[in-house]
């Protein structure tokens, strides 16, 4: 009934937005303008994008899962991760390449350009402007062609050098380095925000598709599988496990971009302060094994937390199912104690996970600062005179490593580990036994790769063909007295209508019986596991 009463909503503006509008998010301006003039209401909501609808995403993942099951066919265990990779591996790699250009190109050149610029003031202009501008243009062009987030410190370093005593840099050169710094910042904005929007959309697609798979699978479970799983487990999968995709996808690429950016930044710092750069970077790398161990520990605690949550939700579902009996026998206190104990066991695992996350987050505060101190101290103890340009450039490089290696890299280890556990739980649920016989009247139980419109059209064509065939047979055949009394052949349509009604009635009865089986199963399991409370 809800599907029939579905309200039509305006089309999503992102569907027809041009590339410039998508890059600058100009298509969102009407939303903000409407919110400024009046309060937002329900009819202001847009229709979801076609690529975000659960129907197409569920059909795609269902088809890939069936192919994965057929490919495995006893040789190995079907993998849900393979299904996800087959669906979006190419696009995910493309997004990773965009992030690589941003992190290992543009950002690192800006400090170098700034370092060259700072050395300008206090100088006398002695070099020929035209020759230096020509050489500068070639250098900047080479920098942009070879690197692009790593490029940012490079430009900043050049700007800092512009202010150093004894430098012969022209003002025009300094202006070009300053323009390069601004260009790096602009590219950072125009690349990072669309990338984050695209990667979040991909995580949402994973979540929606997996929810559709779980729903379809739950309708096709056999009686044996229903005895092995619980309603609480399904609810936990839909409400908790699938949400890991939204977060894990953000930090996924930093697991390989982080170490690569560290190598490139170490080279540029070697150019500035020689071997002292290795001292600070080595101190930072010493924490990576600890971060990896804590990430692995997080995945173990995540699995334990999920099991405790399944147990608590199952317990609450059974209590709510038998709440009348509990109230009648005044068993509120014993059952409240059971719920409190289950929740306490769950909170214990959540607390341990929170402690580990706190330790991983604390690396953000002190790691890069200690690394910077170690690098500068080692450089000065080697009887070197450090300049403002060197300090500024090295500090900028460590700030980039701070975001990449002490924020996103540890979070990537923890979040990807949790997402891996969630994928395994979803995979185990998808491997439960299906019902051997299709349920009449419930075509949606069967996993289908056809759109609903096509199935509806095929059903209408079939009914029309049966009607035409019946009408032709009644016109050519001689009617009997009974047929004339019943309406001259119209009674032949009655069995069809009755069949449709019987099918709908059978479908409703099957659904009611299934609910009754689950209720009886939960009650019997409760009595068996808690005989002292009966």
Concatenating the DSSP letter of every residue in 342-405 gives HHHHHHHHHHHHHHHHHHHHHHHHHHHHHHHHHHHHHHHHTT----HHHHHHHHHHHHHHHHII
| Confidence grade of residue 151 (pLDDT, cut at 50, 70, 90) | low
Residue 351: pLDDT over 90: yes
- What pLDDT is attached to residue 133? 39
Amino acid 461: pLDDT: 57
CATH of the domain at 228: 1.20.1560.10
Q: State whether 249 and 369 are in the same domain.
A: yes
Q: Please say if the pLDDT value at position 230 is more than 90.
A: no
For range 441-455, the mean pLDDT: 47
- Average pLDDT on 96-104 reads 86
**CA separation for the pair 217, 219 (Å, rounded):** 5
13-17, 276-280, 422-426, 437-441: range with lowest mean pLDDT: 437-441
Nearest to 372 by CA among 290, 261, 283, 260: 283
How many independent structural domains does the chain possess?
2
Same domain, 341 and 229: yes
**Which DSSP symbol is given to 287?**
T
Cβ neighbour number for residue 393 with a 10 Å cutoff: 31
Q: What is the pLDDT, as a whole number, of residue 522? A: 47
pLDDT exceeds 60 at position 495: no
Statement to judge: residues 381 and 281 lie in one domain: yes
pLDDT of residue 127 exceeding 80, the answer is no
Mean pLDDT of 441-453: 46
> What are the helix and strand counts (H, E) for the chain?
21, 0
Q: In the predicted model, is pLDDT for residue 279 greater than 70?
A: yes
Lowest pLDDT segment from 88-92, 342-346, 468-472, 488-492: 488-492
Mean pLDDT of the chain: 75
**Domain assignment present for 187:** yes
Range 457-483 average pLDDT: 52
Q: Is residue 88 part of a domain?
A: no
Report whether pLDDT(245) > 50. Answer: yes
Last residue of a domain, one of 398, 430, 462: 430
Q: What is the pLDDT of residue 470?
A: 55
101 and 234, same structural domain? yes
Task: Compute the average pLDDT of residues 60-81.
Answer: 88
| 460 inside domain | no
519 lies in a domain? yes
Instruction: State whether the Cα torsion 265-271-273-274 is positive or negative.
Output: positive
- Return the ∠ at Cα 32 (arms to 27 and 33), rounded to 5°: 100
**Least confident piece of the model among 15-19, 21-25, 46-50, 170-174:** 170-174
**5-40, pLDDT tens digit by residue?**
566 788 888 888 888 888 888 888 888 888 888 888
Question: For residue 517, is pLDDT > 50?
Answer: no
* pLDDT confidence of residue 159: 62
Do 423 and 510 reside in the same domain of the chain?
no
Of 256-270, 343-357, 376-390, 504-518, give the lowest mean pLDDT range.
504-518
280 CB-near residues (< 8 Å, 6+ apart): 269, 371, 372, 373, 374, 375, 378, 398
- Of the chain, the percentage scoring pLDDT greater than 70 comes to 69
Residue 223 in any domain: the answer is yes
**Mean pLDDT value across residues 111-117:** 69
Mean pLDDT within 290-297: 83
pLDDT for 193 beyond 80? yes
Q: Please say whether the beta carbons of 151 and 109 come within 8 A.
A: yes
Give mean pLDDT, residues 32-54: 85
**The pLDDT of residue 457 is above 80:** no
* 157 and 389 Cβ atoms separated by less than 8 Å: yes
pLDDT band per the 50, 70, 90 thresholds, residue 410: confident
Residue 24 lies in a domain: no
Between 75 and 158, the more confident residue is: 75
User: Confidence class of residue 497 from pLDDT cuts 50, 70 and 90?
Assistant: very low
The pLDDT, as a whole number, for residue 211 is 92
Q: Are residues 226 and 310 in the same domain?
A: yes
Statement to judge: residues 512 and 409 lie in one domain: no
Q: Which of 378, 396, 430 is the last residue of a domain?
A: 430
Does residue 512 share a domain with residue 425?
A: no
Specify the pLDDT at position 166: 59
**Do the domain assignments include residue 410?**
yes
Q: Find residue 163's DSSP bridge partners.
A: 119
**Distance (Å, rounded) from C-alpha 410 to C-alpha 417?**
11
Query: Which is more confidently placed, 75 or 398?
Result: 398
Residue range of the domain that includes 289: 94-430
Tell me the per-residue pLDDT of 295-346, one tens digit each, with 9 for 90 and over.
Answer: 788 878 888 888 888 888 888 888 888 899 998 988 989 999 999 999 999 9
Q: What is the pLDDT of residue 347?
A: 92
- Locate the DSSP E strands across 158-255: none
pLDDT(508) > 90: no
The candidate with the shortest Cα–Cα distance to 111, out of 37, 185, 16, 29, is 185
Q: Which of 430, 451, 486 is the last residue of a domain?
A: 430
Read off the pLDDT of each residue in 383-407 and give the average, rounded to a whole number.
Answer: 83
- Kindly state whether residue 138 falls inside one of the protein's structural domains: yes
Question: Quick check: 131 pLDDT over 80?
Answer: no
pTM of the entire predicted model: 0.66
Residues 273 and 391 in one domain: yes
Average the pLDDT over 139-155 and give the result.
53
Q: Are residues 531 and 418 in the same domain?
A: no
Work out the average pLDDT over 350-378: 86
**519 pLDDT higher than 60:** no
**Residues 379, 254 share a domain:** yes
Three-class DSSP category at 447: coil
23-55 per-residue burial string, b: 16 or more CB within 10 A, e: under 16: eeeebeeeeeeeeeeeeeeeeeeeeeeeeeeee
Residue 513 reports pLDDT greater than 90:
no
């Amino acid at each position: 009934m809800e599907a029939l009463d579905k309200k039509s909503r305006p089309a999503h503006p992102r569907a027809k937005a041009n590339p410039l509008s998508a890059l600058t998010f100009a298509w969102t301006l009407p939303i903000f303008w409407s919110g400024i003039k009046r309060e937002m209401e329900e009819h202001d909501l847009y229709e979801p994008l076609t690529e975000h609808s659960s129907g197409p995403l569920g059909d795609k993942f269902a088809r890939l899962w069936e192919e994965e099951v057929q490919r495995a066919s006893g040789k190995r265990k079907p993998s849900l991760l393979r299904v996800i990779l087959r669906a979006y591996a190419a696009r995910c790699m493309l997004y990773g390449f965009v992030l690589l250009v941003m992190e290992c190109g543009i950002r690192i050149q800006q400090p170098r350009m700034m370092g060259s610029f700072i050395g300008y003031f206090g100088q006398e202009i002695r070099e020929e402007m035209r020759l230096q501008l020509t050489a500068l243009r070639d250098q900047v062009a080479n920098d942009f062609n070879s690197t692009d987030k790593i490029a940012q410190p490079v430009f900043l370093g050049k700007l800092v050098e512009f202010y150093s005593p004894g430098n012969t840099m022209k003002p025009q050169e300094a202006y070009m380095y300053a323009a390069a710094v601004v260009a790096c910042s602009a590219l950072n904005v125009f690349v990072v925000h669309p990338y984050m929007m695209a990667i979040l959309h991909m995580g949402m697609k994973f979540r929606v598709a997996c929810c559709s798979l779980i729903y379809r699978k739950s309708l096709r479970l056999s009686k044996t599988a229903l005895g092995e799983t619980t309603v609480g487990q399904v609810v936990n999968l839909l409400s908790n496990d699938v949400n890991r995709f939204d977060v894990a996808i953000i930090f996924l690429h930093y697991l390989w971009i982080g170490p690569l950016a560290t190598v490139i930044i170490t080279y540029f710092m070697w150019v500035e302060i020689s071997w002292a750069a290795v001292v600070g970077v080595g101190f930072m790398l010493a924490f990576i094994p600890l971060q990896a161990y804590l990430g692995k520990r997080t995945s173990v605690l995540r699995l334990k937390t999920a099991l405790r949550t399944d147990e608590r939700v199952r317990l609450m579902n059974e209590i709510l199912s038998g709440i009348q009996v509990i109230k009648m026998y005044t068993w509120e206190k014993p059952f409240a104690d059971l719920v409190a104990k289950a929740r306490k066991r769950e909170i214990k695992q959540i607390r341990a996970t929170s402690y580990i996350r706190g330790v991983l987050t604390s690396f953000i505060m002190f790691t890069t600062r200690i690394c910077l101190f170690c690098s500068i101290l080692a450089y000065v103890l080697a009887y070197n005179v450090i300049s403002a340009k060197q300090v500024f450039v090295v500090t900028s490089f460590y700030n980039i490593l701070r975001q990449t290696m002490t924020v996103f890299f540890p979070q990537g280890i923890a979040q990807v580990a949790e997402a891996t556990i969630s994928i395994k739980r979803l995979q185990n649920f998808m491997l439960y036994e299906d019902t051997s016989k299709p349920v009449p009247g419930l075509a949606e139980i069967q996993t289908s790769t056809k759109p609903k419109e096509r199935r509806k059209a095929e059903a209408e064509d079939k009914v029309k063909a049966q009607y035409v065939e019946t009408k032709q047979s009644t016109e050519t055949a001689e009617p009997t007295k009974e047929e004339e009394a019943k309406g001259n052949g119209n009674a032949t349509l009655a069995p069809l209508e009755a069949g449709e009604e019987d099918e709908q009635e059978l479908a409703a009865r099957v659904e009611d019986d299934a609910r009754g089986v689950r209720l009886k199963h939960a009650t019997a399991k409760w009595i068996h596991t808690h005989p002292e409370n009966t």
